[in-house]
Amino acid sequence: MVANNTVENTQQKRLSIGIVGGGIGGVAFAVALSRDSHLDVQLFEAAPQFSEIGAGVSFGPNAVKAIQRLGLEASYQRIADSSPAPFEDVWFEWRRGSDDAYLTASLAPGVGQSSVHRADFLDAIVANLPEGIAHFGKRCVEVQQDANSATAYFDDGTLFTGDAIIGFDGIKSSVRRHVLPPEQHGEITPFWSGTYAYRGMIPTSELEAALEANGSEKRLALVPQMYLGKDRHILTFPVKQSQLINVVAFITDRSTSNPKLPEGEEWVQAASQEEMLKVFEAWGPACQAILECIPKPTRWALHELPELAHYHRDRVLIVGDAAHALVPHQGAGAGQALEDAYVLASLLTDEHCDRHSVNDVLAAFEQVRHARTCKVQRTSHEAGDVYEYAGENIGNDESKLIKNLETRFDWLWNHDPHDDVIAARQLKTVMS
């Protein structure tokens, strides 16, 4: 119920939940909760409408499993891309950046490189969200709670009071300050990973022609590729029903253990093609063909969060990038948000979860998810090192590199988030 200045707690419902943040994870979570008529679910998004950046996002088998578990598979499959036969199980082919030579492939049987355009995926999930749940222009500025309720305050002067507040509000989360107060935990802010990513989208037919003109195979356009080199790597995979190829070219500053972004520099900015080409000077013909097809790249300073001590404080919980933002080198960020959404929605829609037990439920969620999400953060950073010949005990030794790349994702991919639900329910039984 939205009043002029508040969203009231509807007492006839078993539980009222406020979700701060309407990105992929927040909306998927809201959709899952909305299927339970005994819950009052309200979603608050700072922007004037749902919107995502126009970039590609890839999902590993674990993320696809979470999408299936969330009941969003039909929406996803309508827009998802996969590698063409006979390469349908290929997550990435790995190549030497200097001459495009093939090294090995990482295989994800039955899934391969499952990817979408972010904005398309968000639209597809939003289509499942019932009317009246989403509220726009609601930038959360503060969260407070007492023994019986939690309240989110928005910069337009309105507020929401409910039984629980879930912060799905991204790497710059405002809910995080409440969960980890600076006076106890110090200021927790995203830090620059040292890596810049140049991004662009290329029409598939254009890239195929450019590859052939440079003497490369045109199949390198449609089969996901990763080109490796010292302190640099380039990835490509198809999106938009294979009409476009998503390209990201990375360069990392490893000259210091604590790289700092220049004061006042925006995280995302326009860059020149000339600057990007200079970074990958002397790389192989396929890489040159790819980068020459991006006249106006954008340059992203990739930020991440330190591993946080905890995600939960009584009736308030942070999830997704608000809790464990990471670099994109395992294609795992959106996947972790979707795993969070499925596990948390399963626990909150359990008929035994009510306003009296919700604290324990959120605590159980944190206990089963914390170690995994921290490990995904850590290994995502490490993966970037491996791709750029800076992996510990691997460096540029190609035999070690190949061995590592063929198996390093297994633990991440071979995970069913329903196992987390079972573990959390067992914990909850112990705790209550």
Sheet holding 298-304, edge to edge: 102-107, 90-96, 225-229, 232-239, 244-252, 191-203, 298-304, 268-270
- Contact (CB, 8 A) for 106 and 401: no
- Judge whether 207 and 223 are in contact, CB under 8 Å: no
**Tokens representing residue 147 in the block:** 């023994």
312 beta partners: 317
Nearest to 162 by CA among 41, 46, 44: 41
CA-nearest of 40, 267, 50 to 149 is 40
By C-alpha distance, which of 387, 392, 381, 414 is closest to 402?
Answer: 387
The token duo for 309 is 């001590």
Helix pair angle (417-431, 358-387), 10° resolution? 140
Positive or negative CA dihedral for 106, 112, 117, 119? negative
From the list 118, 199, 355, 369, the catalytic residue is 199
What is the C-alpha separation between 18 and 7, in angstroms, rounded? Answer: 9
Q: How far apart are CA 161 and CA 356, in angstroms?
A: 15
How many whole angstroms separate alpha carbon 50 and alpha carbon 185? 32
Instruction: Transcribe 140-203 into DSSP letters.
Output: EEEEEE-SS-EEEEETTS-EEEESEEEE---TT-SHHHHHS-HHHH-----EEEEEEEEEEEEE
Length of the chain: 432
- Measured CA to CA in angstroms, residue 322 lies from 167, 173, 179, 221, 326 at distances of 7, 5, 11, 34, 10
- Edge-to-edge strand order for the sheet containing 134-136? 134-136, 39-45, 15-20, 164-167, 316-318, 312-313
Catalytic (active site) residue 199: yes
Q: Which residues are catalytic?
A: 199
